[in-house]
């Protein structure tokens, strides 16, 4: 099953996915799409953990559980983030990140 | 042999769809692309024989979070609305930073020689996962399991009080600009 | 309870007492009593000190008391006095006593005024009695902060600007000092033994020379900023001009002496080799500040600016003499600190009283006040003569000891600089007489000065205490110079003893 | 794992019970008496704090995942005291009518973040560290957006949640690489195996950015000002005091125990970041007009000073840092107490509104002056001792030039702290904030701060007690 | 040995009376304070006479030569281990002679001012200052060491400042007192520098040590240390500079004419008899060091004396204000004394110049005080200082006229009177030493006679100008001192000075040298004749002569524009080019620099303001680039 694919490939995928997520975070103008890019970032990290666990240290399940916890936390985070986004929608009538800059300098 | 093909296929799907999520004009379409990315990562877990994890990924991520996102998209903007794109300067600068970062990290990571541990592999069946979840000793994860419950409770309550709509609208309007 | 700790306790008790006072009169009386007791205490201290010395006690520090405060960092609350600090305590108590009476008429937030004034004084007293670098630094910074409130709240003219400038520059100075104290602390004991902040222990062993070269400028400039060293003196004219009378009295009279005393006690005593090596740079700076201050004062129009610049010149002379590092010059420096302290305090008191009456401090607007305010006029003339060094008043004693002392230096560079410093007595005469001439003598310029009232009883008391002190030191300086000389002996011998070994100068 | 072992987790357990208790009590409170929860919650928490101080059992649980030593218990107690004071100070604000229904939610969220911080401090491995970090941040976002009818509070919430998400993303990427290179997430094994290979340094720096985000060190501090200004005053004070204090404790613990092998490297990182943080923190604070934003930047500058303690890398360094955080908590809470009392009564938060405050309410002004002087590090208040020991520890590491920069920055900081004093005492104002008497609870909170500011300084036993528990880098 | 400790009382009594009158003077009636002052001076005068008689005659110290006796000494201030400042009394021929001069003249002035100052505001303040002045002058004279002399030197300067500025409402008086003090102060700076150099090299302040031939000063290894002259010579020149300032010698004389602003008794006491001769006394006190140790310094003294006397004599001939004429005549006579000291050798016969100078000092004090007091009586009567509005007063003021005439004859150097004897001795000494100086002195003798009699005739003779109210003779309290001083002026010449005051204490025989005496009397008579011709009857001759001399007359009248030069130096140079730039530099550059720092901090904070732009994505961008930058620096660039 995993014999032929070297670990490095997984790392390449996860790093590219990670940086795509960051690119999304920095450029997308809509708050929810920023949330999506964060999910991408967390997913990249999960791949990393799982790959390491499987390839390097199969004797324990630390990477596996780390990913599990990350998924749970991502869920919690998404919930609170979306609650706040809805709240912003009520206050600002739009969820464009650029008009959320009343406080500056 | 076919697992290699499967891996390349999945890797391609992940990369393509994540780039599409980040660059597509329509928000709803971006959400769908995100769904595809999550499903392909779950597939990768299957490949790596972490079946329990793949299942959790599918249900929580694909099922829960993406659905939540789609709901919030619908709540906050009608379907056909086109997301306004960042101005050229900002996207150019971020692209530059991201690419440089990616190259730097990749270059550093790939130069590191990973040393797999010598101990015998441990099967990762659901029973092992269960045992690890409730065991207290060295590699047991009972404590995180308990603490995550508090986190979810707190997140739940937080989300409710933030998103709750005041029953009587007046209170909302009156204090709106109190601190302006 | 050691007598020295009383010097901090009495001001604090007075502050607490002030908190309970009702109206303005009670506050004034309470603080006057408090500072009166402080004055008696300092007189008692001098008496006890002298009897102790006559009884043959030759310990470096008398009334020594040591209590551990932070064991891990070996910070102690150590207090002790020698001849020099006793003299300085005497000066401070006189000036504070006079300051209280000079601010008898303060009515805006009077309770807070007297509290900050006495807090400032307790900071200065603490500084003079402490021997532990940490407690010294603590009291040094304690004395700076009430200064902001005093100038900011009760000052006049651009008071916020000058209050802020003064506090920031003094804090920048204490910043330099902070680094130096840490440096000294970490090189205070030979490797292995317990690091210490105690001055006497640090003096016992030698701080490595390259560290000294790094730390000495920091300490000297750190204290020099307060002692009106040449380029860092600009806070003094503005600060004094906007400060209320009592504050500028206390500040110029006492706080600037903290700088000189600190340079002497910390910079030179602990780092003699670097002192000898780098003395020439600072000698030029102080030499310049002596002449520079005098010339600056000649063209000033505002009374307080004139006095501020003259303080720059006199304090420059103090630092100049300390840098000569021989016994007589240092003795002269200490006497100059005391005499200048008394004189500037007297000047600022008088300026405050005149300003209180004529509501202007520009000398060309005033004239012929001698006829209208005879008491203040006569006292002003005497203060002026004391400041330009009339024999029989303290200025002469101090300046002559400094000039003769610094002229004994074996190296011609120092002697030439002494002559430059001597020339300051002529310029001092020029600006003092210019002020006395335009302010007091000559016809009365603006006629509604005609019905000004002369000095009230508290003003007379405030000026007379200072005047008697100036005349006492002027007439019979022997007891003071012997007291200082006795403690200077071992210190100068340590400073010069080391230098000859290191083969410098 | 006998019951007895559980007692070592006493702090966290009691706190969780507290959270659940508040939830249950809130269920059966009628809508009109929702405010009755306030005294109950405060007294419960007071009991918790007192129990916290009782002599505790130290040891390891869950195979090294949960570790408590004397020092971690001390840190938890310090945080408990801080939270207690905040609870006291927040009563007036909570009683206002627009928070009518959600008072108990405020307590639940607050205490759950405290649970998170406790777990973070006593974590033995990166998983618990990350979990505690998230548990400390997510409910905070909800708290930041607590007054949801104010647009600024929502803006603060979103900025916090998204920035913290990004930072934890980068932190996780670092953790994954650490796991990949050492094979374990437990601190002891990671510490033993860690070397200065490029990837491991990269991993450490990503980890450091995550932690730096929490303490708001310079390149990662931009969220701080907006979140502090947006969220309600008591939440802001919680941010600046408790979450920053906790993360400072964790940073120094982790750096000393886990990354001791690359200490020579991270000291230079800390040197660069410290200089940047102090200078930029001060430069921004100069111009602020809003009090919360002003204290935000001042707390950034103070974070720069905390780094000086860490850079020492020796026992004095750790003691100085813990002592400084304690003093920082009291002085900041003093200042925030005054701001919260005033903004709860009058809603005014700009420095110009504070002009001439001394004329009307002198006691508040005196406390504000004391806390501002303590932040500036002026004797006789505790701030002077805090700063002095911090700089002594940096000097003991031989960083004289850093100390010089720090002390110069302290002087610049004195400038803007004096601006506050100037506003309150010297500036004339024909409509100053009228005299008001805040309720008994808030006055207790303010009084405790004032007492703390004086006592911690002069009473040297505090410093000695901390010094007994701390340790240097194990190498 | 003979006990002289009581001499300590001589300076002490005036000091005690100064304190007494100064503190409680305004309470008692003016005349009471006057009488107390005069009584004080009376006791001091009697004591000094007793000392003089005992020292010179009864204790017959003459055989073994007059030794200097240290009557009393206490250490006032402990400087280095070798150098201590002591206060005490030193009895020695010149100091006893000076005691006599000071106390007598001061007593006369006190009695005179009882009348002159009657009705003035601040009457008690005047007498307080007079006692202060007498105290400091007596202290200066009795000084046992050079530092004590410097102390009382400064006190004399201050009391002259206070007395000149007595009428403090008059701006001119204030300016004059300020000018006097600053010029003397400048000279004192030279004196101080001289003391410092001398004490550094010899290690002592004490006169007895300094002046003893085997002492450290004289036997100091000479050698051209600096610009061709030995260190000792330089210190002596600096010390002389101090003396020249006080005695208004040539470069530092500008304050003396303006000092006439003070009340006339003050001018009589200070600017005729006592203070101005302090410089001569100083050189006399250190004479052995000058003569044996630093002869070049002595030539400097001689030439400065000569130039000053000639310069002053020329100006005196052109002045119209009678007090200014007398002031310049004082300056010229002191020039005489300095020259006499300059030309004198040391020991026995060749110490003639030293004896002559002191002799002239003694006689000059008498008749110059008389002239000033007389002028005071005249001004008191006519209420104007200017010669032009006087004339024919001999009818109205008989006693003043008689005493004034005696004084003029004495100063002109006509034989029987004292002036001739002392001036002749100086001429003899000058003749033996240096011919050019002798010729200068010879010319000056003639000029002196001319301007004195010009003054006499234009006041008492000339046309009878009408006075709005007839001038009346001064009251007795003013005329008695005139008569006493006149007596002194006449008989002082017969005192055997060569037996009393000599350079090394050993008396020597001196006889009248006719070959010098006769020509000097002739030149004096020539001067008097010229003056009578021009001024006895008011005629056009003086104006015609002024026309002939033209520019040089105008220059002399304007005191060779020296005042303007000094004004230029002090006002323009010191004020304009040094203090104003210094003050400007301080206010703008040094202060500006501090404000600059504050402004730069403010500007940088504005500059980086938009870092905090409020946009979340920009925060994220900074966050990520910050992290990557740290990675780049510390992974790859760090060593």
Instruction: Give the pLDDT score at C1.
Output: 64
Average pLDDT estimate for E403-409: 90
Structure tokens at C338: 């005391």
What's the number of CA atoms in the CB half-sphere (13 Å) around residue B11?
16
> Using CA atoms, how far apart are residues E86 and E91, in angstroms rounded to an integer?
15
**pLDDT tens track for C72-114:** 888 999 999 989 999 999 999 999 999 999 999 888 889 999 9
Instruction: Give the pLDDT score at A60.
Output: 83
Tell me: cis bond preceding D380? Omega within 30 of 0 counts. yes
Contact A95, A34 (CB under 8 A): no
Q: Does some domain include residue C91?
A: yes
Q: Does some domain include residue C10?
A: yes
Min distance D289 CA to chain A CA atoms (Å): 10
- D229 pLDDT tier (thresholds 50, 70, 90): very high
- B173 pLDDT tier (thresholds 50, 70, 90): very low
Instruction: Give the pLDDT score at B152.
Output: 95
Whether the CB of A100 is below 8 Å from some CB of chain E: the reply is: yes
Is pLDDT of D244 > 70?
yes
Domain that holds residue C57: 6-496
Contacts of C75 (CB under 8 A, 6+ apart): C68, C69, C132, C134, C135, C197, D460
Helix (H) or strand (E) holding C81: strand C75-81
CA angle centred on D451, ends D448 and D453, rounded to 5°: 110
Nearest to D430 by CA among D352, D367, D349: D352
Torsion, Cα of E571, E573, E578, E580 (10° steps)? 40
Q: List Cα–Cα distances, C25 to C115, D427, E335, in angstroms.
A: 15, 27, 66
Chain E CB contacts of C368 under 8 Å are: 168-169
> Using CA atoms, how far apart are residues C249 and C352, in angstroms rounded to an integer?
9
Chains that touch B (3 or more CB pairs under 8 A): A, D, E
- B139 pLDDT tier (thresholds 50, 70, 90): confident
- B82 pLDDT tier (thresholds 50, 70, 90): low
Whether the CB of B109 is below 8 Å from some CB of chain A: the reply is: yes
Contact D330, D341 (CB under 8 A): no
The C-alpha R_g of chain A, in whole angstroms, comes to 18
Contact D331, D367 (CB under 8 A): no
Whether the CB of E631 is below 8 Å from some CB of chain B: the reply is: yes
**pLDDT tens track for B115-126:** 888 777 777 788
- Identify the three-state secondary structure at position E106: helix
**pLDDT tens track for E105-164:** 999 999 999 988 888 888 888 999 999 999 999 999 999 999 999 999 999 999 999 999
Q: Does some domain include residue C299?
A: yes
Structure tokens at A10: 């997984």
Nearest to E204 by CA among E145, E270, E141, E132: E145
Min distance D146 CA to chain B CA atoms (Å): 6
Tell me which of C499 and D27 has the higher pLDDT. D27
Is pLDDT of D42 > 50?
yes
**pLDDT tens track for D421-453:** 999 998 888 888 888 888 899 999 999 999 999
> Using CA atoms, how far apart are residues D182 and C197, in angstroms rounded to an integer?
46
Nearest to E95 by CA among E505, E506, E507: E505
Range of weakest confidence among B132-146, E17-31, E459-473: E459-473
Structure tokens at B131: 């045992």
Identify residues of E whose CB sits under 8 angstroms from chain D CBs. 601-602, 604-606, 608-609, 611-612, 614, 616, 618-620, 622-627, 629-631, 633-636, 638
Is pLDDT of A1 > 60?
no
> Using CA atoms, how far apart are residues C334 and C484, in angstroms rounded to an integer?
8
Residue C325 φ/ψ region, left for φ over 0, alpha for ψ in the -120 to 50 degree band, beta for the rest: left
- Identify the three-state secondary structure at position B128: helix
CA D358, chain centre distance (Å): 29
Q: How many other CB atoms are found less than 10 A from the CB of residue C193?
A: 10
Percentage helix, strand, coil for chain B under 3-state DSSP, each rounded to 5: 70, 0, 25
Q: How many other CB atoms are found less than 10 A from the CB of residue E65?
A: 12
Q: What is the mean pLDDT of chain C?
A: 90
Instruction: Give the pLDDT score at E388.
Output: 79
- B78 pLDDT tier (thresholds 50, 70, 90): low
**pLDDT tens track for E219-267:** 777 666 677 778 888 889 999 999 999 998 888 888 888 888 888 999 8
| CB contact (8 A) between residue C138 and residue D408 | no
Nearest to D445 by CA among D147, D84, D191, D184: D84
Q: Which domains does chain B show, CATH number per domain?
A: 1-85 (1.20.120.1200), 123-180 (no CATH)
Find the CB nearest A76 among B97, B152, B162.
B152
**pLDDT tens track for A31-40:** 899 999 999 9
**pLDDT tens track for E76-88:** 988 888 888 999 9
Q: Does some domain include residue C282?
A: yes
Is pLDDT of B103 > 90?
yes
- C2 pLDDT tier (thresholds 50, 70, 90): confident
Min distance C48 CA to chain E CA atoms (Å): 23
Strand partners, D290: D350
Instruction: Give the pLDDT score at B180.
Output: 40
Percent of chain E with pLDDT over 70: 97
Is pLDDT of B170 > 50?
no
Chains that touch A (3 or more CB pairs under 8 A): B, D, E
Structure tokens at E67: 């030794």
Min distance C477 CA to chain E CA atoms (Å): 6
Q: Does some domain include residue C164?
A: yes
Q: List Cα–Cα distances, C177 to C55, C260, D64, D374, in angstroms.
A: 38, 13, 47, 19
Whether the CB of D418 is below 8 Å from some CB of chain C: the reply is: yes
Is pLDDT of C499 > 60?
no
Residue D26 φ/ψ region, left for φ over 0, alpha for ψ in the -120 to 50 degree band, beta for the rest: alpha
The DSSP code for C63 is: E
- D334 pLDDT tier (thresholds 50, 70, 90): very high
Whether the CB of C355 is below 8 Å from some CB of chain E: the reply is: no
Q: Does some domain include residue C1?
A: no
> Using CA atoms, how far apart are residues D119 and E3, in angstroms rounded to an integer?
99
Average pLDDT estimate for C146-163: 90
**pLDDT tens track for D67-87:** 999 999 999 999 999 999 999
Chain C CB contacts of D380 under 8 Å are: 138, 142
Range of weakest confidence among A64-73, B115-124, C320-329: B115-124
Is pLDDT of E218 > 80?
no
Instruction: Give the pLDDT score at C503.
Output: 38
Instruction: Give the pLDDT score at E230.
Output: 82
Find the CB nearest E628 among B86, B90, B101.
B101
- When divided into structural domains, chain C yields a total of 1
Average pLDDT estimate for E173-194: 91
Q: What is the mean pLDDT of chain E?
A: 86
Instruction: Give the pLDDT score at A29.
Output: 85
Instruction: Give the pLDDT score at A2.
Output: 54
Interface test with C, best of D366, D410, D460, D472 (most C CBs within 10 A): D460
- What ipTM describes this predicted complex? 0.91
Find the CB nearest A16 among B53, B85, B102.
B102
Beta-strand runs (E) in E3-83:
69-78
Percent of chain C with pLDDT over 70: 98
Where helices occur in chain A by DSSP H, the ranges are 7-27, 31-55, 62-92
Instruction: Give the pLDDT score at D29.
Output: 86
Provide the chain A residues 44-63 that lie in CB contact (below 8 A) with chain D. 44-45, 48-49, 52, 56-57, 62-63
Going by beta carbons, is chain C in contact with chain A, meaning 3 or more pairs sit under 8 Å apart?
Answer: no
Average pLDDT estimate for D390-414: 93
Number of H helices, E strands in chain C: 22, 2
Structure tokens at E555: 């220059």
Chain E CB contacts of D205 under 8 Å are: 627, 630-631, 634-635
Instruction: Give the pLDDT score at E554.
Output: 81
**pLDDT tens track for D106-160:** 999 999 999 999 999 999 999 999 999 999 999 999 999 998 778 889 999 999 9
Is pLDDT of B176 > 80?
no
Percent of chain D with pLDDT over 70: 99
Find the CB nearest E621 among B93, B100, B104.
B93
> Using CA atoms, how far apart are residues C438 and C435, in angstroms rounded to an integer?
5
Is pLDDT of E538 > 50?
yes
Where helices occur in E252-351 by DSSP H, the ranges are 255-258, 264-268, 278-285, 287-288, 295-318, 322-343
Find the CB nearest D463 among C70, C175, C183.
C70
Beta-strand runs (E) in C117-230:
none
Instruction: Give the pLDDT score at D331.
Output: 95
Q: Does some domain include residue C501?
A: no
């Amino acid at each position: 099953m995993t014999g032929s694919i070297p670990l490095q490939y997984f790392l390449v995928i996860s790093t590219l996915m990670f940086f795509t997520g960051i690119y999304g975070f920095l450029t997308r103008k809509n708050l929810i799409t920023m949330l999506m890019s964060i999910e991408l970032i967390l997913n990249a990290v999960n791949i990393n953990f799982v790959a390491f666990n499987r390839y390097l240290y199969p004797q324990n399940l630390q990477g596996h559980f780390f990913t599990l916890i990350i998924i749970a936390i991502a869920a919690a985070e998404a919930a609170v983030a979306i609650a706040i986004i809805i709240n912003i929608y009520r206050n600002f009538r739009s969820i464009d990140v650029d008009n959320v800059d009343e406080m500056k300098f | 042999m076919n697992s290699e093909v499967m891996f390349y296929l999945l890797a391609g799907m992940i990369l393509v769809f994540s780039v599409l999520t980040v660059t597509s004009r329509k928000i709803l379409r971006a959400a769908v692309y995100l769904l595809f990315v999550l499903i392909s990562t779950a597939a990768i877990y299957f490949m790596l024989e972490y079946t329990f994890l793949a299942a959790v990924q599918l249900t929580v991520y694909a099922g829960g979070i993406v659905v939540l996102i789609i709901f919030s998209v619908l709540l906050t903007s009608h379907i056909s609305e086109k997301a306004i794109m960042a101005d050229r300067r900002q996207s150019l600068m971020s692209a530059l930073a991201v690419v440089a970062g990616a190259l730097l990290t990749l270059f550093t990571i790939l130069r590191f020689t990973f040393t797999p541990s010598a101990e015998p592999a441990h099967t990762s069946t659901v029973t092992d996962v269960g045992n690890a979840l409730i065991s207290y000793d060295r590699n047991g994860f009972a404590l995180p399991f308990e603490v995550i419950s508090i986190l979810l409770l707190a997140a739940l309550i937080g989300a409710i009080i933030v998103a709750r709509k005041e029953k009587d609208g007046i209170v909302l309007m009156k204090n709106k600009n109190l601190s302006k | 309870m050691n007598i020295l700790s009383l010097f901090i306790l009495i001001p604090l008790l007075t502050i607490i007492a002030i908190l309970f006072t009702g109206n303005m009169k009670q506050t004034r009386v309470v603080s006057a009593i408090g500072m009166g007791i402080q004055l008696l205490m300092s007189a008692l201290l001098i008496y006890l000190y002298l009897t102790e010395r006559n009884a043959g006690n030759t310990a470096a520090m008398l009334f020594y008391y040591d209590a551990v405060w932070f064991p891990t960092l070996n910070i102690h609350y150590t207090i002790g006095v020698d001849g020099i600090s006793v003299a300085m305590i005497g000066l401070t108590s006189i000036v504070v006593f006079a300051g209280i009476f000079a601010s008898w008429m303060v009515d805006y937030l009077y309770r807070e005024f007297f509290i900050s004034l006495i807090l400032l004084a307790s900071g200065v007293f603490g500084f003079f009695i402490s021997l532990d670098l940490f407690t010294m630094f603590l009291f040094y910074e304690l004395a700076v902060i009430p200064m902001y409130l005093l100038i900011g709240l009760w000052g006049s003219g651009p008071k916020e600007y000058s209050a802020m400038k003064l506090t920031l520059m003094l804090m920048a100075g204490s910043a330099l000092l902070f680094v130096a104290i840490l440096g000294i602390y970490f090189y205070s004991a030979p490797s292995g033994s317990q690091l210490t902040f105690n001055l006497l222990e640090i003096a016992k062993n030698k701080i490595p020379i390259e560290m000294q070269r790094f730390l000495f400028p920091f300490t000297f400039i750190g204290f020099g900023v307060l002692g009106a060293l040449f380029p860092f003196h600009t806070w003094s004219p503005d600060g004094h001009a906007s400060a209320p009378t009592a504050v500028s009295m206390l500040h110029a009279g006492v706080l600037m002496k903290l700088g000189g005393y600190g340079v002497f006690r910390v910079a030179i005593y602990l780092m003699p080799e670097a002192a000898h090596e780098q003395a020439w740079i600072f000698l030029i700076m102080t030499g310049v500040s002596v002449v520079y201050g005098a010339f600056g004062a000649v063209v000033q129009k505002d009374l307080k600016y004139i006095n501020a610049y003259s303080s720059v010149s006199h304090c420059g002379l103090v630092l100049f003499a300390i840098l000569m590092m021989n016994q007589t010059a240092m003795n002269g420096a200490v006497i100059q600190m005391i005499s200048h302290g008394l004189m500037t305090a007297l000047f600022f008191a008088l300026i405050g009283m005149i300003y209180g009456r004529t509501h202007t401090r520009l000398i060309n607007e005033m004239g012929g006040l001698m006829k209208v305010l005879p008491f203040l006029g006569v006292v002003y003339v005497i203060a002026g003569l004391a400041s330009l060094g009339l024999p029989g008043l303290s200025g002469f004693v101090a300046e002559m000891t400094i000039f003769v002392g610094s002229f004994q230096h074996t190296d011609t560079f120092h002697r030439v600089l002494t002559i430059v410093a001597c020339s300051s007595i002529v310029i001092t005469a020029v600006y003092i007489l210019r002020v006395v001439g335009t302010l007091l003598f000559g016809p009365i310029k603006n006629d509604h000065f005609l019905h000004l009232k002369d000095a009230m009883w508290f003003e007379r008391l405030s000026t007379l205490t200072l005047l008697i002190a100036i005349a006492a030191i002027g007439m019979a300086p022997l007891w003071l110079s012997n007291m200082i000389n006795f403690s200077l002996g071992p210190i100068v011998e340590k400073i010069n003893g080391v230098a000859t070994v290191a083969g410098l100068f | 794992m006998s019951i007895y072992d559980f007692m070592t987790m006493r702090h966290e357990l009691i706190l969780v019970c507290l959270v659940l208790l508040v939830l249950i009590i809130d269920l059966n409170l009628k809508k009109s008496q929702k405010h009755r929860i306030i005294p109950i919650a405060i007294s419960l928490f007071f009991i918790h704090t007192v129990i916290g101080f009782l002599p505790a059992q130290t040891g390891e649980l869950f195979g090294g995942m949960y570790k408590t030593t004397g020092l971690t218990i001390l840190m938890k107690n310090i945080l408990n005291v801080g939270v207690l004071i905040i609870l006291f100070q927040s009563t007036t604000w909570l009683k206002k009518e627009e928070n009518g229904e959600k008072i108990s939610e405020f307590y639940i969220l607050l205490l759950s973040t405290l649970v998170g911080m406790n777990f973070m401090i006593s974590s033995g491995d990166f998983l618990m560290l990350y979990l505690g970090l998230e548990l400390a941040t997510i409910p905070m976002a909800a708290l930041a957006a607590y007054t949801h009818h104010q647009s600024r509070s929502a803006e603060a919430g979103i900025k916090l949640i998204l920035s913290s998400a990004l930072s934890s993303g980068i932190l996780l990427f670092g953790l994954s690489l650490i796991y990949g290179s050492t094979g374990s997430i437990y601190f002891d094994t990671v510490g033993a195996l860690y070397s200065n290979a490029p990837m491991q340094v990269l991993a450490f720096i990503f980890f450091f950015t995550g932690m730096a985000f929490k303490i708001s060190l310079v390149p990662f501090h931009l969220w701080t000002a907006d979140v502090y200004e947006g969220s309600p005053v008591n939440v802001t004070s919680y941010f600046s005091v408790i979450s920053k204090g906790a993360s400072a404790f964790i940073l120094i613990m982790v750096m000393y125990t886990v990354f001791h092998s690359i200490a020579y490297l991270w000291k230079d990182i800390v040197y660069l970041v410290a200089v940047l943080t102090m200078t930029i923190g001060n430069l921004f604070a100069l111009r602020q007009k809003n009090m919360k934003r002003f204290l935000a930047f001042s707390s950034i500058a103070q974070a720069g000073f905390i780094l000086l303690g860490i850079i020492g890398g020796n026992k004095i360094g750790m003691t100085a840092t813990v002592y400084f955080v304690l003093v920082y908590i009291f002085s900041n809470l003093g200042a925030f107490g005054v701001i919260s009392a005033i903004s709860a009564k009058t809603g005014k938060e700009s420095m110009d509104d504070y002009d001439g405050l001394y004329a009307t309410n002198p006691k508040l002004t005196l406390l504000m002056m004391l806390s501002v002087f303590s932040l500036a590090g002026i004797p006789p208040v505790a701030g002077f001792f805090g700063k002095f020991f911090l700089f002594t520890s940096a000097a003991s590491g031989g960083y004289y030039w850093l100390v010089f920069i720090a002390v110069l920055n302290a002087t610049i900081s004195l400038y803007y702290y004096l601006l506050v004093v100037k506003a309150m005492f010297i500036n004339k104002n024909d409509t100053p904030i009228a005299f008001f008497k805040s309720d008994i609870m808030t006055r207790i909170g303010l009084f405790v701060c004032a007492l703390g500011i004086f006592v911690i300084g002069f009473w040297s036993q505090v410093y000695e007690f901390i010094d007994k528990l701390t340790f240097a880098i194990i190498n | 040995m003979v006990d002289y400790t009581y001499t300590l009382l001589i300076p002490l009594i005036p000091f005690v009376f100064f304190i007494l009158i100064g503190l409680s003077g305004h309470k008692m009636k003016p005349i009471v304070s006057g009488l107390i002052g005069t009584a004080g001076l009376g006791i001091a005068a009697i004591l000094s006479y007793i000392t003089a008689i005992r020292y010179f005659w009864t204790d017959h110290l003459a055989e073994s030569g007059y030794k200097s006796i240290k009557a009393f000494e206490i250490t006032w201030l402990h400087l280095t281990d070798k150098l201590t400042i002591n206060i005490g009394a030193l009895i020695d021929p010149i100091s006893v002679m000076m005691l006599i001069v000071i106390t007598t003249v001061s007593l006369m002035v006190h009695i005179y001012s009882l009348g002159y100052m009657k009705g003035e505001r601040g009457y008690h303040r005047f007498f307080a200052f007079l006692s202060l002045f007498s105290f400091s002058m007596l202290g200066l004279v009795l000084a046992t060491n050079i530092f004590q002399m410097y102390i009382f030197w400064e006190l004399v300067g201050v009391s002259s400042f206070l007395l000149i500025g007595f009428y403090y409402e008059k701006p001119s008086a204030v300016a004059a007192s300020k000018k006097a003090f600053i010029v003397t102060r400048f000279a004192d700076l030279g004196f101080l520098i001289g003391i410092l150099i001398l004490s550094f090299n010899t290690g002592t302040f004490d006169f007895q040590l300094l002046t003893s031939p085997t002492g450290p000063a004289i036997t100091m290894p000479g050698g051209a240390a600096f610009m061709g002259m030995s260190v000792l010579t330089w210190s002596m020149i600096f010390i002389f500079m101090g003396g020249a300032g006080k005695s208004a010698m040539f470069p530092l004389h500008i304050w003396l004419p303006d000092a006439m602003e003070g009340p006339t008794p003050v001018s009589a006491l200070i600017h005729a008899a006592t203070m101005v001769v302090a410089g001569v006394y100083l050189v006399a006190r250190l004479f052995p060091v000058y003569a044996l140790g630093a002869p070049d310094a002595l030539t400097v003294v001689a030439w400065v004396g000569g130039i000053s006397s000639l310069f002053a004599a020329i100006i005196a001939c052109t002045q119209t204000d009678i007090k200014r004429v007398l002031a310049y005549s004082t300056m010229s006579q002191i020039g005489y004394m300095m020259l006499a000291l300059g030309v004198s050798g040391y020991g026995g016969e060749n110490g003639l110049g030293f004896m002559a100078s002191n002799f002239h000092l003694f006689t000059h004090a008498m008749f110059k005080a008389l002239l000033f007091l007389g002028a005071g009586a005249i001004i008191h009567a006519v209420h104007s200082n200017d010669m032009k509005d006087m004339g024919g007063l001999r009818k109205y003021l008989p006693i003043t006229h008689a005493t004034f005439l005696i004084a003029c004859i004495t100063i002109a150097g006509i034989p029987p009177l004292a002036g001739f004897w002392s001036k002749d001795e100086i001429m003899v000494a000058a003749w033996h030493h240096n011919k050019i100086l002798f010729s200068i002195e010879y010319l000056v003798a003639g000029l002196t006679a001319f301007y004195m009699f010009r003054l006499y005739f234009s006041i008492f003779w000339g046309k009878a100008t009408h006075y709005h109210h007839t001038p009346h003779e001064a009251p007795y309290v003013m005329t008695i001192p005139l008569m006493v001083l006149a007596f002194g002026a006449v008989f002082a010449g017969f005192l055997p000075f060569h037996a009393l005051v000599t350079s090394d204490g050993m008396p020597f025989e001196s006889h009248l040298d006719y070959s010098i005496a006769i020509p000097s009397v002739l030149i004096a008579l020539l001067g008097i004749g010229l003056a009578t011709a021009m001024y006895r009857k008011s005629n056009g001759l003086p104006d015609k002569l002024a026309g002939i001399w033209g520019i040089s007359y105008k220059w002399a009248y304007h005191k060779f524009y020296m005042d303007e030069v000094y004004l230029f130096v002090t006002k323009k140079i010191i004020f304009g080019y040094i203090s104003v730039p210094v003050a400007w530099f301080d206010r703008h550059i040094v202060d500006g620099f501090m404000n600059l720092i504050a402004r730069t901090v403010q500007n940088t904070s504005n500059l980086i303001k938009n870092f905090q732009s409020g946009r979340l994505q920009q925060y994220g961008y900074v966050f990520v680039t910050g992290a990557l930058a740290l990675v780049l620096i510390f992974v790859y660039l760090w060593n």
